[in-house]
Amino acid sequence: MGKFNGKHFTGPVGPVIFRKRKGKQVVCAKPLPGTMKQTENTKKASGTFGMASLMVKHIKEGYGEEIMGYHDGTLHNRLMTSINPVLSQCRDLSTMSYTFGVDSFNRLNGLNFNVESPLHKYLGFNPGIMLEGNSLRVEFPSANAKKNIKFIRSSNACHLTMSLLLFNLKDGKRLNEPLNQMVILAKKEQEQLGGQEFTFTVPDGCLCLLSIFLKYYDYQHLLNNPLMSPGAICFAQLVPGDFEVEDLNVWRSMGQQFS
């Protein structure tokens, strides 16, 4: 559809395209499908974009039960903005092979699944997350962390879930379901989250995405909604080494290897 800005037309109209070039109006024939020429590097970059889109798809699917459809409309684009540059930087266009570093994906740290309810606004503190060998530890501050969690109106309990999604990128696989550990915090009780530590065992050669989700309840009734559903990626790091086939987790193919 062509547009008129008061001086020039721009955009396609029928078989032609209106453009502005050096302050003058020009009209070009619209190229037929399949006739646009691309350089070899452009084609390769397009392939990297497709790989990023595939990875975004699997992140959203992998965390589907925790997100519950309560993500905002910009999530896909925000994930793409974080992942596509990583794949572009880590891919050798001459060989089309990937080389990822331990911190290649740290751009994902702090990415909220719903910008309307950022996790830090409700969690109120940052847990310590450390990868040591094949042990991923999540430590909560020894201060009175429970009081720092913001309970929303009508809620009497908060379910805090630490959800670990793993990617074996070299073989093009991801964990079928994330590894979850959950703590239930009652608003009126005295149990404290502070000082507790949680551990996940992670295989060599895998990308670890650890996210935290908060679900609020009024007894058995879930109160989360499209405008209030805190959750974010809190840790994104690659475990050094090569993946071992003896791993006991259940994996699913992503349909494409990142090798």
One digit per residue, the tens of pLDDT, for the chain of length 259 reads 566 666 665 666 666 676 766 567 767 766 655 554 544 444 445 589 999 999 999 999 999 999 999 999 999 999 999 999 999 999 998 898 999 999 999 999 999 999 999 999 999 888 999 999 999 999 998 765 556 789 999 999 999 999 999 999 999 999 999 999 999 999 887 566 778 899 999 999 999 999 999 999 998 899 999 999 999 999 999 999 999 877 788 999 999 999 9
Tell me if 8 is assigned to some domain.
Answer: no
Establish if 148 belongs to a structural domain: yes
115: burial class by Cβ within 10 Å (0-12, 13-18, 19+)?
Answer: middle
Residue 12, domain member (yes or no): no
Number of domains in the chain: 1
Give residue 36's pLDDT.
Answer: 46
User: Does residue 111 fall inside a structural domain?
Assistant: yes
pTM of the full structure: 0.82
For residue 24, tell me if it sits in a domain: no
84 residue type, one letter: N
Q: In this predicted structure, what is the pLDDT of residue 233?
A: 98
Q: Are 231 and 35 in contact (CB under 8 A)?
A: no
> 175, 193, 176: which is closest to 184 by C-alpha?
193
Residue for token pair 């684009």: 77
Q: Could you tell me if residue 198 is inside a domain?
A: yes
Task: With CA atoms as reference, report the closest residue to 199 among 140, 124, 157.
Answer: 140
Do the domain assignments include residue 20? no
Query: Considering the domain boundaries, does residue 249 fall inside one?
Result: yes
Range of the domain at 152: 41-253
